[in-house]
Amino acid sequence: MHEFNLIQQYFTWDNLPDDISIAVGDDAAVLDLPKGQQLVTSIDTLISGVHFPENTLPSAIGHKALAVNLSDLAAMGAVPKWFTLALTLPAIDTEWLEEFSEGLKSLAQQHQCFLIGGDTTRGPLSISIQVMGFVGQGRALLRSGAKVGDKIYVSGTLGDAAAGLQNILGELALSRDDAEFCQQKLNMPTPRLDESEKIKTFASACIDISDGLLQDLSHILKASNVGAILDLSTLPLSPVLSKLGNKQIRQFALSGGDDYELLFTVPESNEALFLEEMRNKVSCIGHITIECGKIIDESGKELSTTGYNHFNDS
């Protein structure tokens, strides 16, 4: 199959909305920009064996490649609109491409985020997606807005994806159902766009958790010049994670990667209204303190913030 046919068959999608004048097929895409909005854009690359285990289903790879990017827009309080796809393939495998594009398309359709172009090359499997979306002028949710006294919240549950990865690597024994649950969280993360829509009205700062709660929290703390106290007994855990030993729970929930939950701060004055809106979709896990960059637990012990680091070989 020729590259042009490949693009035509798997990555040229129908029923594009009117704000896309030109999508796949010309030298570049041509798009209408809404008035009064700011463009928010982000790019993430997934490399086989680094960002997903080599035997991951192609549909899950397609899903995850877009999901991690949508998660970044959710963390900014932005609504996704379009994305481009740079795909490097070792060979043309039509079955793989069919399943990959189905996984990608199904998540894209769910969020009305449209593929407008890309690039296709040959080499070791790698997928880069750049996503574009919009936020009202001056309304982007930044890492730098946390203030002393703000409450720290997280969506969903923590550590399931890390447990799923350890299970795949043969380091953690789980029952069949539990393994399936954790691997689903690892391979098919849900970008928290619906939650972001609501959170953005109330939050002072936000980040998505990709490299572990502590490491990602430390980014908010540094950007905002504040510290944090966490009550570790309030970490939201799935029934599967709750069954593990305390040490493992802490490891996965605090430092495990790939959660793609939102971690954000809410000023106390907004908290009552916020909780009315969100009910039990979020958990309060601590609050912001004055001690810049420092994270302590409820007993005052300092927590180390090292999570996943691509350049750390040890």
Q: What is the smallest separation between the CB atom of 196 and ligand ADP, expressed in angstroms? A: 26
User: Could you tell me which stretch among 113-121, 165-173, 257-265, 305-313 binds Mg ion (CB under 5 A)?
Assistant: 113-121
Could you tell which of ligand ADP, Mg ion, none binds residue 75, using a CB distance below 5 to 8 A set by kind? none
Kindly state the tokens that stand for 7: 């693009």
Could you tell which of ligand ADP, Mg ion, none binds residue 252, using a CB distance below 5 to 8 A set by kind? none
119 lines the binding site for Mg ion (CB under 5 A): yes
Q: What is the smallest separation between the CB atom of 122 and Mg ion, expressed in angstroms? A: 13
Q: How far is CA 135 from CA 37, 38, 172, 283, in A?
A: 5, 5, 41, 25
Q: Which of 41, 17, 18 is nearest to 134 (CA)?
A: 41
Give the whole-angstrom CA distance, residue 135 versus residue 195: 15
Q: What is the smallest separation between the CB atom of 27 and ligand ADP, expressed in angstroms? A: 5
Please answer whether residues 52 and 165 qualify as being in contact, where contact means their C-beta atoms are separated by less than 8 angstroms: no
Q: What is the smallest separation between the CB atom of 21 and ligand ADP, expressed in angstroms? A: 13
Please answer whether residues 114 and 83 qualify as being in contact, where contact means their C-beta atoms are separated by less than 8 angstroms: yes
Provide the mask over 66-105, with x wherever binding to ligand ADP is found by CB under 6 A and - wherever it is not.
-------------------x-x------------------
Q: What is the smallest separation between the CB atom of 20 and ligand ADP, expressed in angstroms? A: 12
Number of residues in contact with Mg ion, rule: CB under 5 A? 1
Kindly state the tokens that stand for 289: 């303190």
Q: Which of 285, 144, 155 is nearest to 228 (CA)?
A: 285
Kindly state the tokens that stand for 94: 């039509």
**Dihedral (C-alpha) 181, 176, 241, 111: value to the nearest 10 degrees?**
0
Strands (E), the chain: 20-22, 30-31, 37-47, 79-89, 114-122, 126-136, 151-155, 205-208, 227-230, 262-266, 282-289, 295-297
Q: Which of 27, 54, 95, 276 binds ligand ADP (CB under 6 A)?
A: 27
User: Could you tell me which stretch among 13-21, 117-125, 233-241, 298-306 binds Mg ion (CB under 5 A)?
Assistant: 117-125
Could you tell which of ligand ADP, Mg ion, none binds residue 7, using a CB distance below 5 to 8 A set by kind? ligand ADP
The residue whose two tokens read 């980040």 is: 207
- Residue closer to ligand ADP by CB (options 108, 285) is 108
Q: What is the smallest separation between the CB atom of 124 and Mg ion, expressed in angstroms? A: 19
Site for ligand ADP in 114-173 (CB under 6 A): 115, 117-120
Q: Which helix (H) or strand (E) holds 263?
A: strand 262-266
Which residues form the interface with Mg ion (CB under 5 A)?
119
Which residues form the interface with ligand ADP (CB under 6 A)?
7, 11, 24-27, 85, 87, 115, 117-120
